[in-house]
Amino acid sequence: MRDFTQDHQWLSINTATVKKQWPLDRIIDECAQRGIRAISPWRDQVAAVGLDKIAQQLRHTGIELSGYCRGGFYPAADAAGRQAALLDNYRAIDEAKTLNAPCLVLVVGALPGALAGKPEYTDISRARNEVFDGIASSLEYARTAGMPLAIEPLHPMQAAERACVNTLEHALDICDALDPSRTGALGVAVDAYHVWWDPKLESQIARAGKSRLLAWHVCDWLTPTRDLLNDRGMMGDGVIELQKIRGQMEAAGYAGFAEVEIFSELDWWQRPGEVVLDTCISRHKSVI
Amino acid sequence: MRDFTQDHQWLSINTATVKKQWPLDRIIDECAQRGIRAISPWRDQVAAVGLDKIAQQLRHTGIELSGYCRGGFYPAADAAGRQAALLDNYRAIDEAKTLNAPCLVLVVGALPGALAGKPEYTDISRARNEVFDGIASSLEYARTAGMPLAIEPLHPMQAAERACVNTLEHALDICDALDPSRTGALGVAVDAYHVWWDPKLESQIARAGKSRLLAWHVCDWLTPTRDLLNDRGMMGDGVIELQKIRGQMEAAGYAGFAEVEIFSELDWWQRPGEVVLDTCISRHKSVI
């Protein structure tokens, strides 16, 4: 297992972590000043500054991406909606390519309309079929572009609104069906926050193997958790056994970044961005 | 599939649903007045009125139990704590017997101390081992008493604090290990709220079969869900496909009650108990 205690060379910052403090160009500069080698930006943050400007800044600072957030949200109540979702995924793939991302992370979507509080249907099997078809279509485009797709299973508490793929096993079943020869074009993003509870986590990480393990996200599960979306904890402040899970990831062949992704309305989004980044660096050494 | 539209003969009320409105003796009277044939009471509600008094009232009104809540909470930081938990489970089994319950529902527990915000350890594998051993010991006592135990997988968002058994598959693995010959002494409580998201739900209900399906709890998953514990919805107000799941339960052999269990700090606990019960009756017919 890699030694994370001496430096933070494997730290990546998912830029949602400080999105309330700074625009993306400032985030990149702050990361560069601290010797943070990688980030994972969100599409809206990129668009707010400008895709080409961000691509140029990344080249200039030498900061690489550990992933690009995000594609997905495939299900829709009608064919026009599903087609619009596909086209948007193609654009996300192009943007990821421009930014030289190693993968596009897919938050696959769930019951259409549920995120706005009005589900247009409640048939989760149908949503799962639409997700499968959407990934299949995106994958054709992504193969041509040379951009790997990383399915991110979300915590089951997000099953209605954000992703109806909620276990690593389910995500890998989709990978096996659509990319049986493990070309590297399709894999998973393993976010500890979403999967730490799963009794099959270790066996499914081993099943995924190096060719499917495209990203590794970290934060912590707080007790109590006060909000279903925006109450993630800093590594070390909760109950997730991050070192144990990293050991399982590395045993399976993963050798990439540990990407910190913290949505924290009540805590870390309220603190100065400098404090957040410095804490990520110190916890990378002491906790991850 | 049974016809639920004409009457409410298969309705049971988990008494937590109106626990903020009334003490248990009043709840039983209100149910009796409405022709509700069954309840599932909680230990603290029984203790507040008195075990023998409740047993007598149940005989008098003819109301039966669909389950007794609850045993479990096995993990502890030390042997003394685990032994105390076992003894408490034995008492719960005795109480269930006194009340003529068809099963004792087990909320198995998770990281000790986490419910109070201070986990004494974070090794969830250890907690799962302690749960397994605790169920094994309880089962010996329960077999002698003739009281079936129903493992209730809780939603993964409760994995740190309340139950580290979070899928029907995991619960059935425990059943298969401890009661391989399917004697009826050990099974599961299927709560739609906790398991609706699971892509393996249908296959695991079929795997459970009649001998393991000891209870069936219903409410609904709201979008948005504003609290991890106390924001359950009334059947029909959320996204759970209750009729579809009931069909799967009945196809597997389940022919018991639909037990309504709603924890709702922001809504149903604030309404008059009469309104809650009348709504449960109407939704039993129109939704379940």
The complex scores an ipTM of 0.97
Min Cα–Cα distance to chain B from A27, Å:
31
| Band of pLDDT at residue B107, cut at 50, 70 and 90 | very high
Is A110 an interface residue toward B (CB < 8 Å)? no
Q: How many residue pairs from chains A and B have C-beta atoms closer than 8 A?
A: 89
pLDDT at A16: 98
Which of B114, B166, B228 shows the shortest C-beta gap to A197?
Answer: B166
Which of A224, A226, A239 shows the shortest C-beta gap to B122?
Answer: A239
Contacts of A215 (CB under 8 A, 6+ apart): A40, A66, A67, A102, A103, A105, A150, A152, A188, A189, A190, A256, A257, A259
Which of B117, B123, B221 shows the shortest C-beta gap to A223?
Answer: B117
Chain A residues within an 8 Å CB radius of B154: none
Mutate to test the interface with A, among B129, B172, B223 (most CBs of A within 10 A): B223
| Band of pLDDT at residue A244, cut at 50, 70 and 90 | very high
Whole-angstrom CA distances from B214 to A107, B190, B207 are 36, 8, 13
Q: How far apart are CA B17 and CA B39, in angstroms?
A: 10
pLDDT at A118: 94
| Band of pLDDT at residue B211, cut at 50, 70 and 90 | very high
pTM above 0.90, yes or no: yes
Is A160 an interface residue toward B (CB < 8 Å)? yes
**Cα B57–chain centre separation:** 22
Give the type of residue at B227. D
pLDDT average, residue stretch A184-188: 98
pLDDT average, residue stretch B150-169: 98
pLDDT at A230: 96
Residues 172-201 on B with a CB inside 8 Å of A are 196-199
Q: How far apart are CA B213 and CA B201, in angstroms?
A: 13
Q: A223 vs B115: CB contact, 8 Å cut-off?
A: yes
pLDDT average, residue stretch B68-92: 98
Q: Which of A35, A130, A48 is nearest to A89 (CA)?
A: A130
pLDDT average, residue stretch A216-235: 97
* Residue with tokens 């990361």, as numbered in its chain: A31
Provide, rounded to the nearest whole percent, the portion of chain B with pLDDT above 90.
Answer: 100
pLDDT tens readout for residues A97-144:
999 999 999 999 999 999 999 999 999 999 999 999 999 999 999 999
pLDDT at B205: 98
Q: B156 vs A157: CB contact, 8 Å cut-off?
A: yes
| Band of pLDDT at residue B202, cut at 50, 70 and 90 | very high
pLDDT average, residue stretch A190-202: 98
Q: A228 vs B223: CB contact, 8 Å cut-off?
A: no
Chain B residues within an 8 Å CB radius of A238: 160
Q: A197 vs B159: CB contact, 8 Å cut-off?
A: yes
Strand (E) positions, chain A?
11-14, 38-40, 64-65, 68-72, 104-107, 149-151, 186-191, 213-218, 258-260
pLDDT tens readout for residues B256-270:
999 999 999 999 999
Q: How far apart are CA A122 and CA A111, in angstroms?
A: 6
pLDDT at A206: 98
